[in-house]
Amino acid sequence: MTFIVGPLFSGKRRVAMELLGCGEEALARRAVWDVQELAAARSDLEALAAELAAHEVVIATEVGGGVVPADPAQRMAREAAGRLNCLLAERADRVIRVFCGLPTVLKGAL
């Protein structure tokens, strides 16, 4: 599994399509994205990470920057999303951070 992470609107899906050599339709079958939104609803993040890792590519938006949200639910969601990212990165064969559409390999090789 390849884990792709980066800021909002940074071109993560585009990098995934280039990596897989596929278009948007195939990407929907081979990859899963916005996984940061799944974390809050799950008590067992390990199990969620294991399920997600069955995909070829898992994509998350990094949401840990900025001021800690005042709203407790948003705060918990952000915590869970960050923790999930770490679990996914552990499971991944390669981890790619995308910035302005440009990939930087944090783990493994392109």
Partner 1 sequence: MLTLVIGGAASGKSEYAERLVLHAGDGPRVYIATMEPFDEESLQRIEKHRRMRAGKGFQTLECYTDLASAQVPSGSTVLLECVSNLCANEVFSPAGSGDAAAQSILRGVEHLQRQCGELIVVSNDLASGGSLYEGDTLRYLEILGTVNQELAALADDVCEVVCGLPCWHKGGTRFADFS
C-beta of 18: minimal distance to partner 1 in Å? 11
C-alpha distance from residue 60 to each of 31, 65, 70, 86 (Å) = 11, 14, 23, 11
Question: Which of 48, 78 has the CB closer to partner 1?
Answer: 78
Element (H, E) at 50: helix 45-52
Question: Which of 8, 54 has the CB closer to partner 1?
Answer: 8
- Residues that bind partner 1 in the complex, under the rule CB under 8 A: 7-11, 14, 36, 61-67, 69, 74, 78, 99-102, 104
C-beta of 88: minimal distance to partner 1 in Å? 17
Beta-carbon neighbour count of residue 76 at 10 Å?
13
